[in-house]
Structure 1
Amino acid sequence: MKQPYHRVGRARFGFAGDVGKVAEARRKPLKRPAQPRARATVKAIYEAFVRILCRDGWDRVTTRNVAAEAGIAVGTLYDYFPNRLALLSGYERHAIDELLDRIEVDVITAAGTWRERLGLLVRLTANPKPADLPYFDRTMLLIENEYAEPKHHRRAYEELLGAWKRAVAACTDLPRRPADHEVEAAFSAALGARRYVVLAEPRHFDRKRWLADIEAMCMWLLAGEVAAN
């Protein structure tokens, strides 16, 4: 989840609090890319990370393997990520930012009816395997506790919920204005359902039908109407 980027300081020997802070910092990216070339480098690192994870599994995700896959020096990768947990932490933050950007561009500021915009909002949030958003899978969920603390989950939850509230407010043609608790219920249902389906990997899963049902449920909460499927 979202975590500040900073360089690791030197621990003072004998101070457990400082040692703990350094250990925590090593699970975070060292800096956020600012220049176009740096952003392109980090993008290549993320793409290489996903290819290795999908092809070879988490055990083969090492900084050296990712650097080789991305075609960069391992020292360049270390400029941003001290280890693979920091890389995964940065990638998950990247995935959240991409989702927030899509909601802003394609829902909040986009034209269209409330059904079109809110239907897309639900699908963007709930889809377990979106083709046009960063890859996310069961392995990432299983090791989240190694780098993400409750405060990071809360921050991401609040950011995404805020985007949902802005999206609903932007739909001035809604037949009724949902209460905040209804927006939060729809949001948490969509996001929570996605995460659990990714984690459980249910057999005989009809993703298209499931996604349509999640959308219908959320639309009923938001507008008192069921979306046409």
Structure 2
Amino acid sequence: MQLAQTLINEIQSGRFPVGSTIPTEFELCEQFGASRSTVREAVKQLVQLGMVVRQAGVGTTVKAVRSEGGYRQVMQQLSDLHRYTADTVLQILSKETSEVRDPEICAMLTAKPGETWLRIAGLRRSGDGPDPICHTEVFIQPAFRSLVVSENESHVPIYTLIEKQFGERIAQVQQEIRAIAMPSAIAALVNVKPRTPALWLCRRYLNQRGEVVEAAISIHPADRFSYSETFQRDWNAG
């Protein structure tokens, strides 16, 4: 992931302009002291972002200095959530306190009907692409509903702001992902047709007492987000 980011930075700085070729896998292995599999995976990430294209007999050619509007998230630990927020911008559309009564929402928040939570709705954008990568709806526990979110903190995770402003501590993040049809109300905001394939992603942030401090639901058009995890085998296990 670090090698891929270095190559992205060098493409965007002009070291490898559009139309030029980046070093071969063998050359990158020598330059970075990395294995061939690591280099191959890094270049693969650039291909998936639409920034380079592989051509037999030619090499890997720079196609664009920015990604094609999608976002690929690589998750291995909680700190990677900071990278996602740092790489994207949350454009807040609304921020209000409201009672939660929908049974599904109450179950997700482990809240009682009638509790007043802070609700923030917005669009998350990546790079210079004209279309947002997702619509996000954030619910914040009543104890923290006076949370202040300024425009110059759009790169800061909401849970980090909660920790900073209220002294709360996030101990665990639970995540659920499923495929859905794009809801009509969200489709218009993210510039896609209703009922097209979409990715529904819910994250619940829990404190040390196991209480839900924040829950965020993001709905991505299928072609604007991909998700990658690495599972390390425990070779000492039976």
TM score, norm. by length of structure 1: 0.30
**Greater helix percent: which structure?**
1
**Greater strand percent: which structure?**
2
TM score, norm. by length of structure 2: 0.29
The structure with higher relative contact order (CA 8 Å, sep 6+) is 1
